[in-house]
Amino acid sequence: MKIEKNVSLKEYTSYKTGGSAKYFAMCYNNDDLKQALDFAHSSDLDYEIIGGGSNLLVNDDGYNGLIICTAKLNRYIINYGNNILKCGAGINLADLVYYSCSQGLAGMESMAGIPGSVGGAVKMNAGAYNQEIKDTNIKAALMDKYGNIIIKSSEEIGYGYRLSPGTTGYIVLWAEFLYSRKNSEELLNIRKEILEKRKEKQPLHKPSCGSVFKRPEGNYAGTLIEQCGLKGYRTGGAAVSIKHANFILNEDNASSADIYNIILHIQKTVYEKTGIKLEPEVRMIGFNK
C-alpha cells in the first residue's frame, strides 16, 4: 500500500472538480485499508473515505489530510450457487447488476445505470424504480477506524431512505445479496429498458453526480426545482440541467464552488417559494454543510 502526496481529486470524482489531497491511499485489500488507517492515526491526520466518487463534491481547496480510496477494494464477485452473491466493495454496482441479471438473479435489474461502487451503494442504500440495496442485502463486512472487522446483518445496518445508520463510522469491505430466480433474458431486457429510460430522461453527456437532492416526502426534487424556474440556472461553468432539474452539470470547466453555490441557491429558492427544504444527496468534503 502506497501513500501518495498532493494527489488531485478531480480524477476521482464524477464531477471532475475539486482540489488535491495532501495524502492519498488507494486500497486494494483489507490489509491496505488497515495500513492506511494506521498511517492516519500514527500521523495524527484527519481522513475521509471515498469510493467511486460518483456522489461526491470536493472543495476546490482540497483536503488537508488523508483520502482513503476504496474504489478498487476487494474487486471480486463470488457466486455461491444458491441465489447468493458475495461482492467486494470496489466492484462497480453496474457490473454487479449486469452479472446478477445474466445469472437469472432478480432484485437489482431496476438499478441499472446507477453509478458508483457497491460499497458506496450499501452506504447510501442506493436505489431506483422501486428497488433498493436493502431489498437484497443480507449482510455486510465492515471495518472500524482501528482496523477491526465486524459483520452486520441487514437488520443491524438499519437501512433507510438513502442511508444506512449501522455503517456509520465503518468502511464497507464486502456485502452478500440474496436474490430470487427469474429468466436471465427477461432480466437483461428489463436492464436494457432501464438504461434506455435513463438515457432518455437524464443528462448523461456532461459530468455530474446524478441526483443532487433527496426526494422530499410526497414530491420530487426535480419537479420543485423546475416549478421554481431554475432549469438552466447557471453559475460559472456549472448549470442546472434543462433535461432534468435535479442534475447540476459541469458544463464548462466548472469549479466545485460553482456547483456548491448552485446547490445553496436551489435550497434557498425552493424553500422561499414552497416551504420545502431540499436535502442534498451528494456528499461534500471540505464544505461547511
Q: Could you list the active site residues?
A: 162, 211, 281
Residue from 235, 265, 268 nearest 252 by CA:
235
Please give the angle made by the CA atoms of 145, 150 and 155, to the nearest 5 degrees. 115
Contact in structure between 106 and 80 (CB atoms under 8 Å): no
Alpha carbon distance, N-terminus to C-terminus of the chain: 32
- C-alpha separations of 272 from 43, 265, 268 in Å: 45, 11, 6
Please give the angle made by the CA atoms of 47, 51 and 57, to the nearest 5 degrees. 75
- C-alpha separations of 105 from 83, 139, 199 in Å: 7, 17, 24
Residue 248, C-alpha cell as written in the block: 447540476
CA distance 173 to 140: 7
The continuous run of DSSP H or E covering 192 comes out as helix 184-201
CA distance 84 to 105: 9
